[in-house]
Structure 1
Amino acid sequence: MKKIHLLILKSFIRPFLSTFIIVMFVLLMLFLFKYIDDLIGKGFAWYVILELMMYASATNVAMALPLSVLLSTIMTYGSLGENYELVAIKAAGISLTRAMYPMIIIVSILSVSAFIFSDYMLPVANLKYFSLLYDVRQQRSATLLPEGVFSNSFPGYTIRVEKKGADGQALYGVIIYAKDQNDNNNSVIFAKEGKMYRTPGDKYLVLKLNDGIRYEESAGDIGYNNRQRMMRFRFKDMEQKFDLSAFKLSRTDENGFKSAFQMMNLKQLRDYKNTTQHQIDSSKEASFRMVAPYIKFFVLPKKSAVAKNVIPVPAPQLKVATLIEQISAITNGASEAKSVQSLLNDNITKNADNASNIRHSLVEYQKKYTLSAVCIVLFLIGAPLGAIIRKGGLGLPVVVSVAFFLIYYIISTIGEKSVKDGNVSPILGMWIAIIILTPIGIFLSYKAITDSAIFDADSYKKFFDKKIFNRFLRRKPA
Structure 2
Amino acid sequence: MKILDKYILKTFVITFTSVFVILFFIFILQTVWLFISELAGKDLDFILVIKFLMFAMPRIIPLVLPLSVLLASIMSFGDFAENYEFAAMKSAGISLQRTMKFLTFFILILSLGAFIFANNVIPYAEFKFINFRKDIAQMKPAMAIAEGQFSDVGSYNIKVDKKSGENGNFLTGITIHKKSNNFDGSKNVIKAKNGELISNEKSNILKLVLNDGYYYEDIIPKKYEERNKIPFAKSSFKKYIIYIDLSKLNNTNNEDYTISNTNSMLNISELKYTIDSLENNRKKDIISFVDNSYQRTVTQGSLSSNKALNDSIITTKIKNPDLLSNFIPKEQSEILQIANNSIINTNYTIDSTEQELESKTKVINSHWIALYDKFVIAFACILMFFIGAPLGAIIRKGGLGLPIVFAVLIFIIYHFVNTFGKKIAQEDGLTPFLGCWMATFILTPIACLLTYRATNDIGFINMDVVLLPFQKLFKKIFPSQNQ
- Name the larger-Rg structure: 1
**Residue aligning to 1:237:** none
Secondary structure of the 1:121 match is helix
Q: Which residue of 1 aligns with 2:274?
A: 272
Q: Residue 396 in 1 paired to residue 402 in 2?
A: yes
The CA RMSD over aligned residues, in Å, is 4.9
Deviation at 1:386, TM superposition (A): 1.3
Q: Who is 1:235 aligned against?
A: none
Report the AA paired with residue 254 of structure 1.
Answer: Y
Q: Is 2:361 aligned against 1:364?
A: no
What is the one-letter code of the residue matched to 2:375?
Y
Maintained 8 Å contact 1:81/1:387 = yes
Residue 70 of structure 2: aligned partner? 70
Specify every segment of 5 or more residues in structure 1 that has no aligned partner in the other structure, as ranges: 190-195, 208-213, 217-225, 232-239, 297-314
State the distance in 1 between where 2:244 and 2:347 align: 55
Q: What secondary structure, in the 3-state scheme, does the structure 2 residue paired with 1:60 have?
A: helix
- State the alpha-carbon separation in 2 of the partners of residues 475 and 178 from structure 1: 86
Deviations 1:294-349, CA, capped at 9 Å, x for gaps: 668xxxxxxxxxxxxxxxxxx94558987656655554555455545544444333
Deviation at 1:90, TM superposition (A): 1.6
**Cα pair distance change 1:370/1:318, threshold 3 Å:** farther
- Which letter maps to 1:270? K
| 1:46/1:175 CA distance change after superposition, 3 Å | closer
SS in 1 for 2:129: helix
The answer to whether 1:47 aligns with 2:56 is no
| 1:214-259 CA-partner distances (Å, limit 9, x unpaired) | 899xxxxxxxxx999999xxxxxxxx9999998xx8346634231x
Say whether the 8 Å CA contact 1:74–1:385 is kept in structure 2: yes
Q: Please, which moves more after superposition, 442-451 or 325-334?
A: 325-334
When residues 286 and 178 of structure 1 are mapped into structure 2, their CA distance, relative to the original with a 3 A threshold, is: closer
- C-alpha distance in 2 between matches for 1:186 and 1:2: 77
2:257 corresponds to: 254
How far apart, in 2, do the equivalents of 1:62 and 1:228 lie? 57
1:93-242 correspondence to structure 2 within 5 Å = 93-136=93-136
Q: Distance in 1 between matches of 2:351 and 2:287?
A: 15
| 1:243/1:348 CA distance change after superposition, 3 Å | closer
Superposed CA deviations along residues 142-179 of structure 1, whole A, max 9, x for unmatched, are: 597969x9999998999767x99xx999x9xx878999
The 1:46–1:451 alpha-carbon spacing in structure 2 relative to 1, beyond 3 Å, is: same
Q: Which amino acid aligns with 2:259?
A: G
Kindly indicate whether the alpha-carbon contact (under 8 Å) linking 1:69 and 1:375 is maintained by their aligned counterparts in 2.
Answer: yes
Which residue number corresponds to residue 236 of structure 1?
none
Gapped regions of structure 2 (runs ≥ 5): 178-186, 215-232, 299-312, 318-325
Give 1:379 shift.
0.8
Q: Is the 8 A contact 2:145 2:158 kept in 1?
A: no
For the pair 1:90 / 2:90, whether they are aligned, the reply is yes
Is contact 2:386-2:447 (8 Å) kept?
yes
TM-score when normalising by structure 2: 0.71
- Provide closer, same or farther for how the CA distance between residues 447 and 251 of structure 1 changes in structure 2, counting only shifts above 3 A: same
Alpha-carbon deviation of 1:53? 0.6
Which residue in the other structure is 1:423 paired with?
Answer: 429
Q: Is the 8 A contact 1:261 1:360 kept in 2?
A: yes
In 2, Cα distance between the equivalents of 1:477 and 1:439?
41
Aligned to 1:81: 81
Alignment partner, residue 436 of structure 1? 442
8 Å CA contact retained: 1:41, 1:143: no
Quick one: which amino acid aligns to residue 74 of structure 2?
Answer: I
The separation in 2 between residues aligned to 1:22 and 1:292, in whole angstroms, is: 63
Task: Check if 1:348 corresponds to 2:354.
Answer: yes
Give the Cα–Cα distance (whole angstroms) in 2 for the partners of residues 41 and 134 of structure 1.
16
Return the offset for 1:363: 1.2
Contact 1:123–1:263 (8 Å) recurs in 2:
yes
Aligned residues of 2:144 and 2:153 also touching (Cα < 8 A): no
User: 1:75-122 deviations in whole A, cap 9, x for unaligned?
Assistant: 221122222222222222122112211011111111111111111111
* Aligned equivalents of 2:284, 2:208: Cα separation in 1: 62
| Paired position in structure 2 for 1:308 | none
Q: Percent identity?
A: 27
Contact 2:81 2:393 in 1 (8 A): yes
